[in-house]
Amino acid sequence: MARIVAGIGTSHVPSIGGAYDRGQTETPAWKPLFDAYIPVRQWLKALQPDVCIMVYNDHGADFFFDRYPTFAVGCADQYAIADEGFGTRALPAIRGDVAFSQHLCQSLVYDEFDLTICQQMAVEHGFLVPMHLCFDPTDTGWPVASVPIAVNVLQHPLPTARRCWRLGQAIRRAVDSYPADIQVAIVGTGGMSHQLTGPHFGQMQADNDQDFLDRMERDPDSLTQLTHQTLMNRFGVEGIELIMWLVMRGALSTTARKIHRHYYAPMTTGMGMITFEEHP
Amino acid sequence: MRIGGSLVFDLHQSWRGLRINTMCNALSKAQERESFKSDEEGFMDRFALTQAERALVRARDFTGLLEAGGNIYFLIKLGAVTGQGLYRMGARMRGETYEEFLATRNVPQSV
């Protein structure tokens, strides 16, 4: 039977991708961020997940407001690298696991999540930055297959924090009922605090970010009760992305153990990371 | 709804901004970016922008474009094609020069 082995919450700030592509992982400004993920990659390499479920949001690279899904799940054997308006990053294409995706979609829909099922999907920084923070690509591609799950965090009304948590619980049920003996990692991405419009552009809330990380570890249920307005007041309008971390946390058991935690706030977004491991 | 002086992008804003965002969305393609650079007015014609919207694009008035329904993630594509990265856009929203804005950051070298 399949099982979830790891959960990761991480920011997906696009400038991290720029620094990675320019080879700036060792510069004084970026080393604190990139160094924090070295043990995460080693840990994941040892755990050897077969599939990574990446919960992220598209930022206008592959989805547009002519028709906008609340939850969109990839159901293909490969996902292209999208052009967000700056050209296409030189990263290997993302390998899918179509059989697992099909099972996941079927299980989630029958669990009353009315998904948009995507047999063609291109992924961008919301997906790619966590991908290369958590896994090292090789000449033959990525060490895991992936399932992209895109969440609407752009156009209100958004799914509630509790709905995201419940999606995570339904993902766990889907994994638990998959007959193949595979190991699954799930990543919730986005945030932390950031404000990208208006007179408070660039405002970060480091104390609130640290409190979110504390609650992710000890009291995630309290986060599911927060309204969008409260979340935006605490983390900025764009910081609402943090609801995607709750999908990941909702997919974990109550006995999952925290392994890594990091926070860095260099520029305009609180860059946070927390990881959990499930006991066999 | 506003949070700390910032408009929340909701269905009302999305409907208002549909022309602007549709135009910006096209800039995800390299060929369209070249079209914009070579003939900005003709590009705006194609997407049927109103006179008021055109004036905001010509002025690179990102605060005005946000108020008119532009979504920040789509406006970033317009910023990129006009040489105004996100941090320069943000500095203008704050009423600061780019240099003044950078001076307020914890690690300004992380641009």
Between the CA atoms of A49, A50, A53 and A54, what dihedral angle is there, to the nearest 10 degrees? Answer: 80
Q: What integer pLDDT is reported at residue A26 of this predicted model?
A: 98
pLDDT at residue A280 above 90? no
Residues of B in contact with A195 (CB under 8 A): 4, 6
Query: Would residue A186 count as lying in a domain?
Result: yes
User: CA-CA distance, B18 to B12, in Å (whole number)?
Assistant: 10
Query: Would residue A119 count as lying in a domain?
Result: yes
Query: What's chain B's average pLDDT?
Result: 97
Q: How many CB atoms lie within 10 A of CB A69?
A: 16
Query: Would residue A277 count as lying in a domain?
Result: no
Model confidence over B4-17: pLDDT tens digits? Answer: 889 999 999 999 99
CB A236 within 8 A of CB A269: no
Q: What burial class does residue A42 get, using C-beta atoms within 10 Å of its C-beta: 0-12 exposed, 13-18 middle, 19+ buried?
A: exposed
Q: How many CB atoms lie within 10 A of CB A194?
A: 28
CB A270 within 8 A of CB A10: no
Sign of torsion over alpha carbons A11, A17, A18, A21: positive
**Average pLDDT of the segment spanning A168-184:** 98
User: CA-CA distance, A101 to A175, in Å (whole number)?
Assistant: 10
Asked if the C-beta of B52 comes within 8 angstroms of chain A's C-beta atoms, the answer is: no
Q: What is the percentage of chain A residues whose pLDDT exceeds 70?
A: 100
User: CA-CA distance, B62 to A21, in Å (whole number)?
Assistant: 28
Model confidence over A259-270: pLDDT tens digits? Answer: 999 999 999 999
b/e code A248-276 from CB counts within 10 Å (16+ = b): bbbbbeeebeeebbbbbbbbbbbbbbbbb
Which DSSP symbol is given to A139? T
Give me the domains of chain B, ranges plus CATH numbers: 2-84 (1.10.700.10)
Model confidence over B76-87: pLDDT tens digits? Answer: 999 999 999 999
Q: Given an 8 Å threshold on Cβ–Cβ distance, is A266 in contact with B28?
A: no
Q: What integer pLDDT is reported at residue A70 of this predicted model?
A: 98
- Closest-CA distance, B51 to chain A, in angstroms, reads 22
Q: Which of B8, B27, B86 sits opposite A237 (nearest CB)?
A: B8
Model confidence over A78-131: pLDDT tens digits? Answer: 999 999 999 999 999 999 999 999 999 999 999 999 999 999 999 999 999 999
Model confidence over A68-79: pLDDT tens digits? Answer: 999 999 999 999
Query: What's chain A's average pLDDT?
Result: 97
Query: Would residue A71 count as lying in a domain?
Result: yes
Furthest-apart CA atoms within chain A: distance in Å: 52
Q: What integer pLDDT is reported at residue A105 of this predicted model?
A: 98
User: CA-CA distance, A93 to A82, in Å (whole number)?
Assistant: 10
Phi, psi of A246 (to 5 degrees): -75, -25
Q: Given an 8 Å threshold on Cβ–Cβ distance, is B21 in contact with A87?
A: no
**Average pLDDT of the segment spanning A52-72:** 98
Sheet holding A94-95, edge to edge: A94-95, A78-81, A122-123
Q: Given an 8 Å threshold on Cβ–Cβ distance, is A29 in contact with B110?
A: yes
Asked if the C-beta of B10 comes within 8 angstroms of chain A's C-beta atoms, the answer is: yes
Q: Given an 8 Å threshold on Cβ–Cβ distance, is A85 in contact with B4?
A: no
Query: Would residue A276 count as lying in a domain?
Result: no
Residues of A tagged active-site: 125, 194
- Closest-CA distance, A169 to chain B, in angstroms, reads 28
Q: Given an 8 Å threshold on Cβ–Cβ distance, is A154 in contact with B22?
A: no
Residues of B in contact with A87 (CB under 8 A): 30
Residues of A in contact with B100 (CB under 8 A): none
A102: helix, strand or coil = helix
Query: Would residue A7 count as lying in a domain?
Result: yes
The strand pairing partners of A269, in sequence order, are A194
User: CA-CA distance, A150 to A26, in Å (whole number)?
Assistant: 31
Residues of B in contact with A85 (CB under 8 A): 27-28, 33, 76-77, 80-81
Q: Which of A61, A66, A87 sits opposite B30 (nearest CB)?
A: A87
Q: What integer pLDDT is reported at residue A217 of this predicted model?
A: 97
Sign of torsion over alpha carbons A154, B6, B76, B87: negative
Residue range of the domain that includes A88:
3-198+211-269
Name the residue in chain B with its Cα closest to that of A154. B9
* DSSP H helices in chain A: 14-21, 31-47, 98-110, 125-134, 161-176, 206-218, 220-224, 228-235, 243-250
Q: Which of A30, A199, A232 sits opposite B110 (nearest CB)?
A: A30
Q: What is the percentage of chain A residues whose pLDDT exceeds 90?
A: 99
Of the pLDDT bands very low, low, confident and very high (cuts 50, 70, 90), residue B104 is: very high
Q: Given an 8 Å threshold on Cβ–Cβ distance, is A85 in contact with B95?
A: no
- Residue A264's CATH number: 3.40.830.10
Q: Which of B28, B34, B35 to mutate to probe the A interface, most A CBs <10 Å?
A: B28
Q: What is the tally of structural domains in chain A?
A: 1
**Predicted model pTM:** 0.98
Which DSSP symbol is given to A13? -
Amino acid at A183: Q
Residues of A in contact with B71 (CB under 8 A): 60, 65, 154-155
Give the rounded distance of the alpha carbon of A103 from its chain centre: 20
Phi, psi of A183 (to 5 degrees): -110, 140
Name the residue in chain B with its Cα closest to that of A64. B25
Query: Would residue A36 count as lying in a domain?
Result: yes
Residue of A47, A57, A51, A37 lying closest to A134 (CA atoms) = A37
Sheet holding A51-56, edge to edge: A116-118, A71-74, A145-151, A51-56, A183-189, A3-10, A271-277, A257-264
* First vs last C-alpha separation in chain A: 12
**Average pLDDT of the segment spanning A221-246:** 98
Which residues in chain B (12-41) have CB-CB distances under 8 A to chain A? 14, 18, 21-22, 24-25, 27-30, 33
CB B20 within 8 A of CB A161: no
Of the pLDDT bands very low, low, confident and very high (cuts 50, 70, 90), residue B42 is: very high
Q: What angle do CA A178, A221, A46 make, to 5 degrees?
A: 45
